Amino acid sequence: MQLKDSRAVVTGGASGLGLAVANRIVAAGGHVTILDVNAGQGAAAAASLGERASFFETDVTDEAAADGAIGRARERMGGVNVAVNCAGIGTPARLVGRQGAMPGAFFRKMIEINLVGTVLISKAAAVAMQQNAPNTAGERGVIVMTASVAAFDGQIGQVAYAASKGGIVAMTLPMARELASSGIRVVTVAPGLFATPMMKAMPQEAQDSLGKQTPFPPRLGEPDEFAALVGQILENTMLNGETIRLDGAIRMQAR
Closest CA to 184 of 151, 145, 149: 145
Distance of alpha carbon 183 from alpha carbon 138, whole angstroms: 6
pLDDT digits (tens, 9 = 90+) for 184-206: 999 999 999 999 887 877 788 87
What sign has the CA pseudo-torsion 235, 239, 240, 246? negative
Distance of alpha carbon 213 from alpha carbon 65, whole angstroms: 39
Contacts of 50 (CB under 8 A, 6+ apart): 26
> What pLDDT does residue 68 have?
98
pLDDT digits (tens, 9 = 90+) for 80-125: 999 999 999 999 999 999 989 999 999 999 999 999 999 999 999 9
Low-confidence ranges of the chain (pLDDT < 50): none
> What pLDDT does residue 207 have?
80
Domain boundaries, the chain: 3-243
CATH number of 3-243: 3.40.50.720
Three-state DSSP at 86 gives: coil
Do the beta carbons of residue 18 and residue 11 sit within 8 Å? yes
> What pLDDT does residue 23 have?
98
The model carries a pTM of 0.96
Residues involved in catalysis:
161
User: CA angle, corner 54, sides to 16 and 85, nearest 5?
Assistant: 45
